[in-house]
Amino acid sequence: MDRIDLYSLTEEELIDFFISLGEPKFRAKQVFPKLHEGVAISEMTSLSKALRERLADITLDTLPRVEKKLVSKIDGTVKYLFRLHDGECIESVFMRYKHGNTLCISSQVGCLMGCKFCASTLGGKVRDLLPSELLGQVIAANLDTGERVSNIVMMGIGEPLDNFDNVVRFLKLVNHPSGLNIGYRHISLSTCGVVPGIYKLAEIDLPITLSISLHASNDEKRTSIMPVNKRWHIDELLKACVDYYKVTGRRISFEYTLIAGKNDTAEDARELAALLRGAFRGTGAPIHVNLIRVNEVEETEFTEGTVDSANAFAARLESFGMVATVRRRLGADINAACGQLRRAAGAQASEGKVE
């Protein structure tokens, strides 16, 4: 019999599970919040020893374990390398902001999307993360820091919309009032542009913030750095974004990684502003462009520009009526770009990339 992954179960499913063991319904009500607090079954003293032993026999412990931890001396940002129950590794980053603690979580082991500047996708995708492993990153960070994660960004390793069902289950779990109770408005999901996933997300209408990794203002350039653009062109992507806004009323932010000499000229800024203003004309949607200087990855040829040139790009966007910010770099001294810790840990992935 397959072991039961308790952390992936909703409260209702946990009730059914305990009933199937011949236990009363209230066991689930006791256990659900404790699991999400990170209390191990063996430490749940409100359960009889016999029940704890039985649970240990039939359940799978999917909580990520801290394999390695880098703490920034500058701002306290913590970068975790987590080891999963099957030996695979993922990364999460814990950041302190004035408005609360934000955890950047991974959604897959590796990634299939093949963005040319990204370290996470170099070895392809190994597997999707389970809902419990998505939630487990938050539980493990809360436990390790002794603080509370209040905001989540899905911007770590992987493409969340390529793991749609598990991600949606996770969102509902982490939002549950008896669990970690993190509001949907405190959660952002970032996608490279998996268009059917954007429509599906709009359909279920959770008030999370959608971030689109755009990174280029025309198809030729975008396709040259993001293979996903061959599958869904910019116009289809922006059409899905407009639909998302119309259905959910939630603002959309666009991520734009500045790569020196590739997409950071004054003409790129003009074209980007025209593209976004054109796509959202008449919708009243507030649009935000987040500029990030590319993190240089050893295996790629891309280089970062200066802070001044990033500021100039932002100013040019603003001169065309856009709202743009240059993302502050937290943890500059532990600045391994997304996916690099995992690669350094020797995790090997085998599967191919999307073309």
Q: Which residues are catalytic?
A: 91, 338
Q: How far is the CB of 197 from ligand SAH (least distance, A)?
A: 11
Q: Is 101 helix (H, G, I), strand (E, B) or coil?
A: strand
Q: Under the criterion CB under 6 A, does residue 257 sit at the interface with ligand SAH?
A: yes
Which CB sits closer to ligand SAH, 289 or 297? Answer: 297
- In the complex, least distance from residue 240 CB atom to ligand SAH, rounded to whole angstroms: 14
- Minimum distance from residue 63 beta carbon to ligand SAH (Å): 22
Please report whether residue 192 would count as binding ligand SAH according to CB under 6 A.
Answer: yes
> How far apart (Å, rounded) are the C-alpha atoms in residues 247 and 345?
42
Chain positions 210 to 229 lying near ligand SAH, rule: CB under 6 A, are: 213
Among 11, 337, 345, 353, binds ligand SAH (CB under 6 A): 337
Report, in Å, the least distance between residue 336 CB and ligand SAH: 10
Q: How far is the CB of 313 from ligand SAH (least distance, A)?
A: 14
Neighbours of 17 (CB within 10 A): 19
- What are the distances in angstroms from CA 16 to CA 6, 19, 114, 147, 285? 12, 5, 41, 32, 43
- Of the ranges 71-79, 140-148, 188-196, 234-242, which one interacts with ligand SAH (CB under 6 A)? 188-196
User: Which residue's CB is nearer to ligand SAH, number 213 or number 248?
Assistant: 213
Distance CA 305, CA 146 (A): 37
Residue 337 CA to residue 339 CA, distance in Å, equals: 6
The dihedral over CA atoms of 336, 337, 342, 348, expressed in degrees to the nearest 10, equals -130
297 binding ligand SAH? (CB under 6 A): yes
Contact 133, 84 (CB under 8 A): yes
- Backbone CA torsion sign across 319, 327, 98, 75: negative
Q: Where are the alpha helices (DSSP H) in 59-157?
A: 131-145
Q: For ligand SAH, give the closer residue by CB, 241 or 297.
A: 297
Structure tokens at 270: 């003009």
Question: Could you give the CA distance from residue 315 to residue 307 in angstroms, rounded to a whole number?
Answer: 12
Verify binding: residue 155, ligand SAH, rule CB under 6 A: yes
Tell which residue, 223, 174, 173, 231, has the closest CA to residue 198.
231
Chain position carrying tokens 């299939």: 112
The yes or no reply on residue 252 touching ligand SAH (CB under 6 A) is no
Task: Check if the beta carbon of residue 5 is closer than 8 Å to that of residue 60.
Answer: yes
Q: Please identify, among the stretches 88-96, 245-253, 287-295, 327-335, the one whose residues bind ligand SAH according to the rule CB under 6 A.
A: 287-295
* Using rule CB under 6 A, residue 128 touches ligand SAH: no
Residue 117, interface with ligand SAH (CB under 6 A)?
Answer: yes
User: Which of the stretches 143-151, 293-301, 308-316, 321-329 binds ligand SAH when contact is defined by CB under 6 A?
Assistant: 293-301
| Contact flag: residue 118 with ligand SAH (CB under 6 A) | yes
166 binds ligand SAH (CB under 6 A): no
DSSP 297: -
Q: Is 108 in the site for ligand SAH (CB under 6 A)?
A: no
Pairing type for strands 252-258 and 209-213 reads: parallel
Q: Which residues contact ligand SAH (rule: CB under 6 A)?
A: 115, 117-118, 155, 159, 190-192, 213, 255, 257, 292, 294-295, 297, 337-338
